[in-house]
Structure 1
């Protein structure tokens, strides 16, 4: 078991280092795109593309006030955008009822694909 725990620890450390390096590389690519005022470019055999998206960030208190039905709130337990979207699609919640309970957040996704 010692070997398993040791290997797990090593991999977790490696994962942290990899995630940090990915963040740094992503920041450099994003800075390059900002500098060149572009959202798409080729780098050797790779194609880089920035994709802008809007995500809803719900305010739990406002959402609770908009959805006073305790059974409905228990289905959510906390504001989970995918669960809320599912309830809207099912017609359990009307979009208009919760329109003031979230803020839209713009995010940029980085896609790197091989040509």
Structure 2
């Protein structure tokens, strides 16, 4: 029983890797097409395809630690987590001004494909 389950698990993980690889390739083709066409949204057949651009903050540990000298605050973060830091800013525990030089902004493009 366990042998069969382990074998099946391994097979499914292999399929997952293959599917993820194919999705990466297909995503690349779609992103290239959109870039070449200079568009962010199209209706293709029965699908609506959209590129969503997001900016994500990537914090520098050293600069963040210098900006947050209070060990209690640093302990709350333990590792720079953008969502936790955003929450602390929204709760006015720390100010955004204090953190202005502690991160770089990374632009991320997400691909959304929906059925009409």
**TM-score, normalised via structure 2 length:** 0.95
2:33 maps to 1:27: no
Structure 1 gaps, min length 5? none
**TM-score, normalised via structure 1 length:** 0.95
- Runs of 4+ in structure 1 off by over 3 angstroms are none
The CA RMSD over aligned residues, in Å, is: 0.9
- 1:12, CA displacement in angstroms? 1.2
**Which residue of the partner structure matches residue 99 of structure 1?**
100
- 1:10, CA displacement in angstroms? 1.3
- 1:48, CA displacement in angstroms? 0.5
Alignment of 1:1-115 (within 5 A): 1-115=2-116
Q: How many residues align?
A: 115
Structure 2 gaps, min length 5? none
